[in-house]
Amino acid sequence: MEVRERARRAYERAQIRIGIETAAPLIVLVPLAMVLHQGGMPSSVAPIAFALAAILFASGWRGDGWRRAAPIGLLAGLPGLVIPRLVLAPLGHCPACDPMMIDAATCFLVCGGAGMVAGITIGVLAARDASPVRFAIGAAAIACLTAALTCVVAGMAGIAGVAAGVAVSTAPAVMLGARARASL
Amino acid sequence: MRPGRAEIHALLVRAADGDRGAFDPLFDAVWPAVQHLCARMAPAGEGDDAAQEAMVRVFTRIAEFDRERDAMTWILAIAAWQCRTVRRTRTRRREDHAAVETEGAERPDDLAERRELIAAATETLGSLSDDDVATITAALTGDPTARAGIAPATFRKRLERAIAKLRAAWRSRYGSP
């Protein structure tokens, strides 16, 4: 085999390894989500965990802004992962894990608020990155899915809250950042 | 025109970030230097293999590249290490080969043959007179007490006679030595 081809294969194997390493934090996050669900594992958490694993792997493997976005997205999604549980647990629905008992408005506000925090963080960092759009899209998607690991208990309202919070706060920051870069 | 160190550094950073477009220019930029280094450092005839293995290692370890370091230095350090590894492997292989050859002399067949030879020599020596045996033994061991009171010239003559008798006895038993 030609040396260039061997080197290219070695390079691609290294990128795959980086992809796996990028998805590794799920080893901690999924059990954490289970603990936040008080030991229960709602059926909707598994598909989200798989989707998050896939997107983290793809981000790490693809590189560039996508790769840089992965750890930021995970960190930005952590408030969304933890806060709903802390805020809504006193209301009593988390232990029961019964969507019929959820106050959707409260859930939307709490998850939306956590999403806003995540979105602002991502927006500020994306504006400084060499690939702001890739960074923002990747980090926002990862933050949404990370937060959804617990918020999904509340149904689509929770996910929509996280997504809306990230999107609304990320877009202006990215646009401002891009405009600032263009004016330089 | 060959790219400079700064360009190679930028290409390596891009490739480490996952930019596939940087792979070919980076490869073309560093391959001649790695080949040249390995041709000088690796054992004769193994320079090309060492260079190829070094390139594979560079791209395997690309995620470990520290951007604060000079890219070309990092790449050539990996190539130099690979050349040293090849040299060490070759030295070890040579030592193992020599050890096998040494062990080979001590194989049971060889040992038995040697024992037979010693037994034949001892038997032939036993057919000589006591004086002849004492003279040959004194010459072989270099024991000065065995030569006590004998002039060196006399001892030399006795030894020549004893060896001649030993040769004749060997020839009569086993043919030409």
ipTM score for this prediction: 0.72
Confidence bin at B13 (pLDDT 50/70/90): very high
Which pLDDT score, from 0 to 100, does residue A143 have?
A: 87
In total, chain B counts a number of residues equal to: 177
State the virtual CA torsion across A52, A58, A60, A66 in degrees, nearest 10. Answer: -90
The pLDDT-based confidence of B3 (bands split at 50, 70, 90) is confident
Q: What is the pLDDT of residue A58?
A: 96
User: Do B57 and A62 count as a contact with CB atoms less than 8 A apart?
Assistant: no
Predicted pLDDT of residue A177: 66
pLDDT attached to residue A38:
66
State the average pLDDT for chain B: 83
Specify the pLDDT at position B87: 87
Give the CA angle between residues A145, A38, A90 to the nearest 5°: 95
Residue pLDDT, tens place only, A68-115: 999 999 998 888 888 777 776 665 555 455 555 556 667 667 777 777
Q: For residues B121 and B116, what is the distance between their CA atoms, to the nearest angstrom? A: 9
Q: What share of chain B is helix, strand, coil (3-state, %, to 5)?
A: 80, 0, 20
pLDDT tens track for B62-84:
999 998 889 999 999 999 999 98
Say yes or no for a CB contact (<8 Å) between A14 and B61: yes
Residues of A with CB under 8 A from a CB of B: 3-4, 6-8, 10-11, 13-15, 17-18, 61-64, 66-67
Query: How confident is the model over B32-46, as a mean pLDDT?
Result: 89
Sign of the C-alpha dihedral computed for residues B134, B136, B137 and B143 taken in this order? positive
Q: Which chain B residue shows the shortest CA-CA distance from A11?
A: B59
Whether pLDDT at A159 is above 70: no
Q: Does the pLDDT of residue A146 top 80, yes or no?
A: yes
Q: What is the mean pLDDT of residues B47-52?
A: 92
